[in-house]
Structure 1
Amino acid sequence: MFETVYACGGRAAEVCGLYVEDLDLRLDDEHVRIHGKGGSVRSVLLDDRGYVALLKLYLARSGYTSGPLCRAGINGSTGPLSYDAAHHRWETYCAAAGIEIDIHQLRHAHATELINAGVSIEAVRRRLSHASTETTQLYTLLADDIAAATEPPADLRLGP
């Protein structure tokens, strides 16, 4: 579930609502249909080969051929995993690791990586389903801040 949030740049609630039927795992055309805010639907390319392999393994081992992708197993129920349950699991994992990261930061990290890789702001906007480019541009500022924070001091730089 968390890898899907990161790999697709989806909101946690969107990923909780995914069904196996939303996946298209045909070779070289792997993508997922994400149902977003306001009834919008977007197709997101699954361009991470490692993630696609992990997803295929998950489906094979679980035997899921239809229905919710991320399922709750409480009291024998196999309904969709709720956002609250996913959020609770995330907090439990973070506490065990001794870190404080909000689940939504997986989406931010995905967007920042795309921008750092040179993907256009418009392509990132569409992938994240932002209504406005201004919202997406916040990630360019974050990417700039990260780059500035990792630059060596002026006296250690090579060249002019």
Structure 2
Amino acid sequence: MLVAFNKPYGVLSQFTDRSRPPRPTLAGFGLPAGVYAAGRLDADSEGLLLLTDDGPLAHRLSDPRHKQPKTYWVQVEGVPSDAQVERLRAGVLLNDGPTRPALVEAIDAPDLWPRDPPVRFRKSVPDAWLSITITEGRNRQVRRMTAAVGLPTLRLVRVAVGPHRLEGIGPGFWREIV
């Protein structure tokens, strides 16, 4: 079984949390029994999280050696210059080594659901949206990449993993993929 879930902002990509006070987890969304996340999304990231009860499938979806493309819509602080976009495309040097090249393009602000809490709006600081596709999955990689080129991430929404897309799934909802 493969499930596409639209993980809301602030929800952990796991079913339990031992911290005090406990944070929201996947357990609160009526997901099918026996599935677990194939990969992760940070609590402050939103969007497509794939869950499965098939261990080899989870490995193929999440292991960086399989180079499964993951696409994110990223709201950044500032207006990206051509040089900043080219640096993201070529690969960025992070503290744990260089990233692989990425597909990066400027996009219009997507029609997304409101985030709770909303991204802080500052009239004097412009923002922009990028579509970034990576084939790795390091911890907070996209956020670290945009920060490394001087474009801090304000909002990050994963919209695709391989051929699987988020389209038509509202935050906190899921559907089985056939």
Same fold flag (TM > 0.5)? no
Higher relative contact order (CA 8 A, sep 6+): 2
Higher normalized strand content (fraction of residues): 2
- Which of structures 1 and 2 has the bigger CA Rg? 1
- The TM-score with structure 1 as length reference comes to 0.25
